[in-house]
Amino acid sequence: MRLRSIVVFLLALTVAGSALYVRWRRTARPPVSEPEGDVALPSPGASAPPSAPADTVPTRSDVQPTLDRLFEGALVVDAEVRPSFVTGDFTGDSATDLAVAARPLSEDVLPRLNAELPRWRLQDATAATDGARDVVPPIASGERLLAVVHGVAGLSWRAPADRPCYLVRNAVGSGMRAAPLSTVPPAVRMQLSRLHAGDVIAEERGLILWTGAAYVRAVTPVDPERPAR
């Protein structure tokens, strides 16, 4: 009996001592005097910029289903504009983007297009880039819009996943084509906040440029030799 009591006593003493030790260790933590040291970083290999994947020329039968999917069936390709769509690397990320002249399908879809939180961004290519474009009037019936679908992460606009999408007002013109940014005069390129590789959208009235956040109509120098339209 005496032996059992002594054993219990010693065990209890051990537990209590441990508790005291834990407390003492936490309380009397010495200052950390060792420098934190550098983190060993992997040597980054020089990675060449990705090249744009080859993309076949789209047809209207490719484009309309894309609009249906990404703009919730609210847009129709505007066949009055020739060509109605163009592809190129408008964002300079080596992924092919799509720009389509489009109109609302009907008045019925306007609430969908003008929803509070649509899955696309509505912009005005002629709005100032310093903030005026965050107040954009709602889309009207029959309004001509440039629907832009971005490719991302090396995948083109055709990839089935969600794509960044934009509806751009005052950006549609006939003769749409993709023009390499390098061919744009420096006076225009320098208007951009960010220059990049890739293309711009050229049409008869001028150039539509991606600034990195918005599509804007470039102010192009007037060519005195060119007759006014």
Strand partners, 102: 77, 145
Residue 83 preceded by cis peptide, ω within 30: yes
> Encoding tokens for residue 42?
């992997």
Closer of 16 and 140 to another protein (Cβ)? 16
Closer of 167 and 201 to another protein (Cβ)? 167
Pair 86, 178: CB distance under 8 Å: yes
- The phi and psi torsions of 62 (rounded to 5 degrees) equal -85, -40
Of 113, 85, 96, 127, nearest in space to 213 by CA: 127
Does the footprint of another protein cover residue 224 (CB under 8 A)? no
Does the footprint of another protein cover residue 19 (CB under 8 A)? yes
Question: How many whole angstroms separate alpha carbon 156 and alpha carbon 17?
Answer: 67
Mark out the alpha helices in 71-227 (DSSP H runs). 110-113, 186-189
Does the footprint of another protein cover residue 228 (CB under 8 A)? no
Closer of 64 and 129 to another protein (Cβ)? 129
For another protein, the binding residues in 104-163 under the rule CB under 8 A are 115-117, 119-121, 129, 131, 133-134, 150, 152-153, 161-162
Closer of 18 and 174 to another protein (Cβ)? 18
Chain residues binding another protein by CB under 8 A are 2, 5-6, 8-9, 11-13, 15-16, 18-23, 26-27, 29-39, 41, 44-49, 91, 93, 115-117, 119-121, 129, 131, 133-134, 150, 152-153, 161-162, 164, 186, 189-190, 192-197, 211-214
